[in-house]
Structure 1
Amino acid sequence: MKEALLSKSKGRETTRIVIRDLRMMAEIGVYPAERGVKQPVVVNVVADIAAPQDAPVDFYVCYHTLAKNVQALAGAGHINLVEDLAEGIARIALATTGVIGVHVRVEKTAALPDAAGVGVEIYRTL
């Protein structure tokens, strides 16, 4: 059923789900002082879904599940770069049925004392 809706919607209608300012702690960074220490990270995800307006509710992506998967990835162990975390989040989102594109922003909020955050933004598609 989802495949039929996907083929019906390609190039026509897109729905976006947004997870904004998902806060978590992650062991992330390449500097020796960042190893073995968790630091605050903020993640934003915008997933483009090929979903026509008449799609049944079970077609849509569950933002709760996506957020939990992102948190699990961030908590799974040391990550060298914010770029690595962003790529992993993009892979998780794109592996979700219906997601055809994803914009991910990852920021370390305590990296620079005079900045609200430093990080990376990526956009990936199928």
Structure 2
Amino acid sequence: MASDRPFPGQAIRAARASGLAIEVTISDLQVTADIGVYAHEHGRPQPLVVDIILNIDAPACDALEETIDYQHVADDAHALARGRTALIETYAMRLAERCIACPRVQRVEVRVSKPGALRGGLAGARASLVRSAA
């Protein structure tokens, strides 16, 4: 059970004060998408494999509100896959934009692979965004 109390220990408080970042990852997320540029791909759901790396500020306490809900990120990936997209590059960019919109996310990298794109190979795209200093 999560607690909203601060983490114990002077070292953790000092690390957070010095800008400690946490990496949250989602790996091998399987989504089905209407994706592709060729006529034979239109309207034919295809599998995508999505990996997401989110860099966030260290949480101040042991509570979900202090981090990012990875289920919400996965839900965004599935929601994007339901819309028609021509390029995996576009899909990766749109998902990265959704992730960086969360104020806790400082940097995001989205990798998307399309297993059926090539005979004997795997096609993929990577999108990275960094929150600009305001």
Task: Give the TM-score band, short-chain normalised.
Answer: 0.7 to 0.9
**Amino acid of the residue matched to residue 105 of structure 1?**
R
Query: Aligned partners of 2:32, 2:128: CA distance in 1, in Å?
Result: 23
Match of 1:60 in 2: 67
Check whether the contact 1:15–1:51 (CA below 8 A) recurs between aligned residues: yes
Partner Cα distance (2:103, 2:66) in 1:
8
Larger radius of gyration: 2
Q: Deviations over 1:17-44 (max 9, x none)?
A: 1000100110111111111111110000
Offset of 1:10 from its aligned partner? Answer: 8.3
Fraction of identical pairs, as percent: 32
Instruction: Report what 2:13 is aligned to.
Output: none
Give the distance between the partners of 2:107 and 2:113, measured in 1 at CA: 20
Query: Following TM superposition, by how much is the alpha carbon of 1:11 offset from its aligned partner in structure 2, in angstroms?
Result: 6.7
TM-score (norm 2): 0.80
Q: Which runs of 5+ in 2 are unaligned?
A: 1-15
TM-score of the pair, normalised by structure 1: 0.84
Q: Which 4+ residue blocks in structure 1 deviate beyond 2 angstroms?
A: none
Count of residue correspondences: 116
Alignment of 1:105-120 (within 5 A): 105-115=111-121, 117-120=122-125
Secondary structure at the aligned position of 2:117 is classed as coil
SS at match of 2:86: coil
Structure with the largest fraction of strand: 2
- The two structures, once aligned, show a CA RMSD in angstroms of 1.8
Q: 1 CA distance for matches of 2:37 and 2:70?
A: 30
- Letter aligned with residue 45 of structure 2: K
Aligned partners of 2:17 and 2:102: how far apart in 1?
Answer: 16
Q: Where do 5+ consecutive residues of structure 1 fail to align?
A: 1-8
